[in-house]
Structure 1
């Protein structure tokens, strides 16, 4: 029905998170309809990003410089490292402006089903960073999934070699959340993590 170039574009778009074949087809059609205003600038931006973006050799963040903007910022609190699964989690925390320390990107979580073990993540590099006398706390900001919790447990065991405090993000009722709409696991976590007022 369409040429191979368009079909390839649709197939590549369908690989993006949140886009299935139908959404990818609609996106490809929109891009082609707006060739000069959208398709050409997007392809140029993607080519520039592919050439310029690199992984930070210190924390694993994605940026156009190495060390990344966060690691190179002298105003960051160097006594605290926040451990995240991937760069998207780091960016989400940065958007909140609630954390002013450094980060460490693991590059995923442990997963027996996908064959991802501790050596496939940057856990050893984290332990090396945590041994720096300047570092006093490591915050585990991993997703509240089975794989995330398994990863947190392994990271905690490995960090026993370093003399640092280890904490994790709180889990439970979100700000603005209504109890009636929360799942049982979230309610259980919120009850277990309750604090005195």
Structure 2
């Protein structure tokens, strides 16, 4: 039986394995600016990284989505230094059917291809399935973003299909969108797979 989410979802801090996912606030603008500058991520075609000077507007849009009940944004911090290294969020939240997606995820270049993405996804999935009792957690990604597709597939998510001609990229071209998901029934196996990849748990 599906248990609907509360609306809106209450902000929550998630932490573990060296990271802290803190509810996004306007005060995080400078930290996000510095994280995005690590690799000048705003130049990437496939991401939603704010350009320099647009961090406050970026946060305001995320918080508007939170107030409207369809987003819950986080900043990602290194637990030791408390430095902001990126951001992620729940989005496209549908309380009535206990479904949400994970996205708007980016990390400074120095933190890419490290443990960070695995830990973030574990924390987000654990909270979604164990605390919110989500029925389905989904992802969407650009058809040209093979790195993102590979990362999602490594989690064990199943590909639901491709939405053709689905959205505009920031350069004005039209993208196809690959859709993925994990269900409540699949979560125990996914959880075990992720736990084996967490820092300190590798054989």
TM-score, length of structure 1 as denominator length: 0.33
Greater relative contact order (CA < 8 Å, ≥ 6 in sequence)? 2
